[in-house]
């Protein structure tokens, strides 16, 4: 069988699948396209006028873009919680969801790279990060490690599902000796991408709010709570509208992963709060600003005091077996947990690290219309990419899309 011929047929059939669907599907894709166009308009303003149109300053130089980047690295890494039991431990209950999880990882990684480009000001400066052309500064720079980790993980999460779907498209089973080694690598790589991202902040001694030994482990705990929580919500939508059968036990097992990770994340949060407030020093000022305000400045208070109760409530709901097995309660708990961790790893982590400044100056940060527009556009792009990947994968896995010899 001519591999190139089969691949061309797969591309052609996939294009046919993603351009046809129900009215709800076309409405969904239309809304996402409109939001992406709006995001492109906002981005054009940023390209034209520079980063001055954002709320970022020389005092708070990372804002909404890097907050979302940090959060989405965790969402991408969470795919490993489905890859490991499916490909390595051979748990068939996870098999139905693993390709969906990997598709979500691909979409999340594309969004991560888009947020980095947005934060750098524009694509014209990206050549600085290309080895051999720009100043890559490897291995001394943690940022170069992050570039390698993110692109490597993206490559793994594209190639493994692509190989499996390509074999299934031909009506054949994927060969374990080809994709299982890649699955093993992806397990360690997933942990690596989030630890490297944590080390970016943790290694900055002048920012005591980030210079915390718990930062890396807490990044992993929050990632393995929020990522699978999002996967559960996506699976719920696919079960309702996607025409793909997903067993209750699959969602229940993923919910158990979310529960344990959420509990560990909450314990680490309590540990951090104890360290900051039991015997506070001048290094605790960022935490005081975040949780109680400082010198009359309290822009982040509504955010963090929304996130903490949501986090506690979600963890409590998930902890009780009877409540967790009620799917309505489970979906609600997963949604509020996802929102809580998005706030904690965004406004609750990135922004307060800059406040107060080295000389005690407090310069608060509020995202502008342009930043919000670009952010919504990138999230819409991620949803658009995931919808395309999921729709094609579901058709192949259901046996509706096969190579015609």
pLDDT digits (tens, 9 = 90+) for 180-218: 888 888 888 888 888 888 888 888 888 888 888 888 888
pLDDT digits (tens, 9 = 90+) for 136-151: 777 778 888 888 888 8
1 confidence band (pLDDT: 50, 70, 90): low
DSSP 88: I
36 vs 26, 40, 225, 230, CA distance in Å?
15, 6, 28, 21
215 vs 24, 75, 139, 220, CA distance in Å?
42, 17, 22, 9
Are the beta carbons of 74 and 345 closer than 8 angstroms? yes
Are the beta carbons of 48 and 141 closer than 8 angstroms? no
SS3 295: coil
pLDDT confidence of residue 4 = 83
Is 90 exceeded by the pLDDT of residue 123? no
Residue whose C-alpha is closest to residue 224's, from 170, 188, 164, 265: 265
Measure the N-to-C terminal CA separation of the chain; round to a whole number of Å.
Answer: 9
Q: How far apart are CA 191 and CA 194, in angstroms?
A: 6
The alpha carbon of residue 118 and the mean position of all alpha carbons in its chain are separated, in whole angstroms, by 16
Is 90 exceeded by the pLDDT of residue 319? yes
133 confidence band (pLDDT: 50, 70, 90): confident
- Over pLDDT 90: what percentage of the chain? 36
Helix and strand numbers (H, E) in the chain are 14, 0
- Over pLDDT 70: what percentage of the chain? 98
Task: Give CB contacts under 8 A, 24+ apart, made by 288-297.
Answer: 289/352, 289/355, 289/356, 289/362, 290/348, 290/352, 294/355, 294/356, 294/362, 295/362, 297/355, 297/362, 297/364
Neighbour tally for 5: CB within 10 Å = 11
pLDDT digits (tens, 9 = 90+) for 236-267: 998 888 677 888 888 898 999 999 999 999 99
pLDDT digits (tens, 9 = 90+) for 384-395: 999 999 999 888
Are the beta carbons of 108 and 72 closer than 8 angstroms? yes
DSSP 85: I
């Amino acid at each position: 069988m001519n591999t190139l011929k089969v691949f061309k047929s797969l591309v052609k059939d996939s294009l046919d699948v993603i351009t046809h669907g129900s009215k709800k599907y076309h409405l969904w894709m239309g809304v996402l396209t409109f939001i992406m166009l709006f995001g492109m308009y906002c981005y054009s303003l940023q390209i034209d006028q520079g980063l001055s149109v954002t709320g970022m300053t020389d005092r708070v130089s990372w804002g909404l873009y890097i907050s979302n980047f940090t959060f989405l690295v965790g969402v991408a890494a969470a795919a490993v919680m489905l890859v490991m039991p499916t490909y390595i431990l051979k748990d068939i209950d996870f098999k139905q969801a693993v390709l969906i999880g990997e598709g979500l990882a691909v979409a999340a990684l594309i969004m991560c790279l888009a947020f980095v480009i947005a934060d750098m000001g524009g694509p014209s400066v990206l050549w600085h990060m290309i080895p051999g052309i720009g100043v890559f500064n490897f291995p001394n720079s943690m940022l170069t490690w992050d570039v390698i980790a993110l692109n490597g993980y993206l490559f793994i999460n594209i190639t493994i599902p692509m190989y499996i779907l390509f074999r299934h498209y031909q009506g054949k089973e994927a060969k374990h000796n080809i994709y299982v080694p890649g699955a093993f690598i992806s397990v360690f790589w997933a942990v690596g991408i989030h630890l490297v991202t944590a080390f970016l902040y943790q290694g900055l001694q002048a920012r005591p709010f980030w210079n915390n030994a718990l930062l890396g482990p807490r990044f992993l705990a929050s990632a393995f709570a929020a990522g699978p929580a999002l996967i559960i919500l996506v699976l719920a939508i696919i079960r309702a509208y996607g025409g793909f059968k997903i067993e209750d036990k699959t969602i229940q097992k993923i919910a158990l992963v979310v529960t344990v990770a959420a509990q560990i994340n909450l314990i680490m949060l309590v540990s951090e709060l104890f360290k900051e407030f039991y015997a506070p020093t001048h290094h605790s000022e960022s935490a005081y600003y975040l949780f109680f305000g400082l010198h009359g400045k309290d822009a982040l208070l509504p955010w963090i005091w929304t996130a903490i109760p949501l986090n506690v409530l979600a963890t409590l709901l998930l902890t009780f077996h009877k409540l967790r097995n009620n799917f309505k309660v489970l979906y609600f708990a997963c949604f509020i947990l996802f929102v809580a961790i998005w706030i904690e790893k965004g406004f609750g982590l990135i922004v307060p690290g800059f406040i107060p400044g080295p000389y005690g100056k407090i310069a608060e940060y509020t995202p502008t219309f342009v930043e919000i527009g670009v952010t919504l556009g990138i999230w819409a792009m991620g949803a658009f990419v995931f919808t395309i990947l999921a729709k094609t994968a579901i058709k192949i896995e259901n046996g509706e899309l096969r190579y015609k010899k």
